[in-house]
Amino acid sequence: MIPLYWQTPYRIHMGGLFMSDETWSHTDRTITDYELIIGVSGVVFLEADRRMYEVKAGDILFLMPGQRHRGYKLSSPGVSFYWFHYWPQEMISDSEPDNQIPRYAECSNPSRVYILARQLLHAVNGGYRIAQAGDYFLTCLLIELAEQLQDSSRLEAMDPQLPELLEWTRLHALDRDISVERIAVHMCYNKDYLSRMFKRRFGAGLLSYIHQIKLEAAKELLVGTKLHVKEIAVRVGIDDDKQFAKWFKRLSSVTPTAYRQAFARTRLNND
């Protein structure tokens, strides 16, 4: 969380509206001030403190002083975002903040945020004769964010090991001894943390992900081969063909045999 104090305005350093007509990735660098990024279009892929962030339209992300950050994936043409560098206020270390803002969150009313961002950018570029106009517009923008995000849930950064976890799980999903516990041990995660993290990220549990991979493999074998159902069961990591039949029907609403009869003749290929 970012603590906020309202005794004096925050001090803007510089800002801009970034737009790219081609694929783009953020520079690898470390800054000495705070940076606020506000997504406008497309997705900005940023890694900071070994966490991966996807800043989409209406999302905000704060980068901290001394924090190394970089792009970890190319953004598509058309990506756009506001960026503002600013200095924090000098406060007594034990003073309680007036508000707090999540470091990474989704705005409930991004249009209001964009209006203030445009006004702030106008002030940064000398659009006002009052020298401190940018500081006050920055403070207004932070107040708007604090108001919008006070009851919102923070977005979760993507663990940098998640792509490896997904790939390893995909490669081993058909193993007979595959389990959430085995994946957790391999990836050096706590089992319960891994389950919670995966569900927050994808809306379904890791075990469901494993079952879905097994199911798709079983369907492919049923439609594309003449293997006996019992052999297909073994190939997807289930030794008992009766258990496999019950499992398949529970997930797809039809038996393996019925699925094969219904879809075998509709398979298309270009061999």
Q: What is the pLDDT of residues 189-222, one digit of tens each?
A: 888 878 887 887 777 888 988 999 999 999 989 9
Give CA separation, 102 vs 52, 148, 172, in Å: 16, 11, 37
Contact 97, 42 (CB under 8 A): no
Name the strand (E) or helix (H) holding 99.
strand 99-101
Residue 97 has pLDDT above 50, yes or no: yes
| Cα angle 161-162-165, degrees, rounded to a multiple of 5 | 90
Phi, psi of 97 (to 5 degrees): -70, 150
Token readout for 123 is: 């002030």
Residue 160 has pLDDT above 70, yes or no: no
Contact 162, 113 (CB under 8 A): no
Query: Which one has a higher pLDDT value, 93 or 212?
Result: 212
Q: What percent of the chain has pLDDT over 70?
A: 91
Tally of CB atoms within 10 A around 162: 16
Whether pTM exceeds 0.75: no
> 269 pLDDT band (50/70/90 cuts)?
very low
Token readout for 102 is: 């999540």
> 268 pLDDT band (50/70/90 cuts)?
very low
Token readout for 244 is: 């496999």
Q: Collapsing DSSP states into helix, strand and coil, what is residue 86?
A: strand
Residue 137 has pLDDT above 90, yes or no: yes
